[in-house]
């Protein structure tokens, strides 16, 4: 396939860019509203007190082994790691499928959650847990957890896997990995005193919402331009839960 043909498969035009901008604005307002509740009206609530109690409980039970393991767990969604990993995966997909559908499915959720995270964390400015922290961060704000949002955004890979195979073991493996990583990252961020439980939960919601919104947007766009995403060599079924085999 020529370079011009690959270029022609680009799916983010003016309409899609506008939708993504609206999604960013909507996510920012929604997550900022929750952050405002946690830091203002609910700052003395059971939720916030429980957040601090959990952080203290984990800090009191630290061990050298878990300190090392959670360092690795936290690193799974570190900024450098997630950018490099996503870039490598996206480039590999572009080379293999010679179209932008799959790379965009992986990249857009990460960009969407990252932009929302950066804006919300600046607007809300929630202090990190009042416990000794095992690492530092250039962002001195706790809500939401950007690491957790990124870890869940990795699940966009599951969507791509479901588009291309009906093999149960491959699907189960993909889901298992994309569940295991957020669990490790979320626990590690809590254990290391970097986030409250509510930060991790709403970080997970942000990553998940970014993946779902992107999948819906790309599916609708691809349905409108099927000639740009399908080929006899690399067919794709955009109905992830469909039972029918992919045509060959």
pLDDT at 3 over 80: no
What's the rounded Cα separation, in Å, for the pair 116 and 19? 14
What are 135-159's pLDDT values in tens digits?
Answer: 988 888 999 999 999 999 999 999 9
Interval 106-124 mean pLDDT: 97
Q: Which domains does the chain have, with CATH numbers?
A: 13-39+46-228 (1.20.144)
Return the structure tokens found at 56.
Answer: 């203290």
Say what the pLDDT of residue 246 is: 44
Q: Which residues contact 217 (CB under 8 A, 6 or more apart)?
A: 16, 19, 20, 23, 108
Model confidence band, residue 237 (pLDDT cutoffs 50, 70, 90): low
Q: Which of 77-86, 179-188, 238-247 has the lowest mean pLDDT?
A: 238-247
What are 199-233's pLDDT values in tens digits?
Answer: 999 999 999 999 999 999 999 888 876 666 665 45
Percent over 70 (pLDDT), the chain: 89
Say what the pLDDT of residue 194 is: 96
What are 49-106's pLDDT values in tens digits?
Answer: 999 999 999 999 999 999 999 999 999 999 999 999 999 999 999 999 888 999 999 9
Say what the pLDDT of residue 234 is: 59
11 vs 191, higher pLDDT: 191
Say what the pLDDT of residue 83 is: 94
Contact call for residues 207 and 153 (beta carbons, < 8 A) = yes
């Amino acid at each position: 396939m020529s370079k011009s043909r690959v270029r022609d498969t680009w799916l983010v035009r003016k309409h899609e860019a506008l939708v993504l901008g609206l999604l960013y604005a909507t996510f920012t307002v929604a997550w900022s509203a929750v952050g405002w509740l946690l830091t203002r009206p609910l700052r003395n609530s059971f939720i916030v007190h429980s957040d601090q109690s959990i952080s203290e409980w984990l800090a009191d039970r630290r061990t050298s082994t878990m300190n090392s393991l959670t360092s690795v767990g936290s690193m799974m969604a570190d900024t450098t790691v997630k950018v490099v990993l996503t870039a490598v995966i996206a480039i590999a997909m572009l080379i293999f499928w010679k179209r932008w559908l799959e790379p965009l499915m992986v990249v857009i959720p990460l960009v969407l959650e990252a932009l929302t995270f950066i804006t919300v964390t600046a607007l809300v400015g929630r202090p990190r847990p009042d416990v000794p922290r095992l690492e530092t961060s250039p962002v001195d704000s706790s809500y939401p957890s950007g690491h957790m949002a990124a870890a869940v955004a990795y699940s966009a890979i599951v969507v791509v896997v479901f588009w291309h195979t009906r093999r149960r073991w491959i699907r189960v493996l993909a889901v298992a990995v994309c569940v295991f990583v957020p669990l490790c990252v979320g626990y590690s961020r809590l254990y290391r005193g970097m986030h409250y439980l509510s930060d991790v939960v709403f970080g997970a919601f942000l990553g998940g919402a970014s993946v779902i919104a992107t999948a819906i947007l790309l599916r609708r766009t691809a349905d409108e331009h099927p000639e740009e995403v399908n080929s006899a060599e690399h067919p794709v079924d955009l109905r992830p839960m469909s039972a029918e085999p992919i045509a060959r």
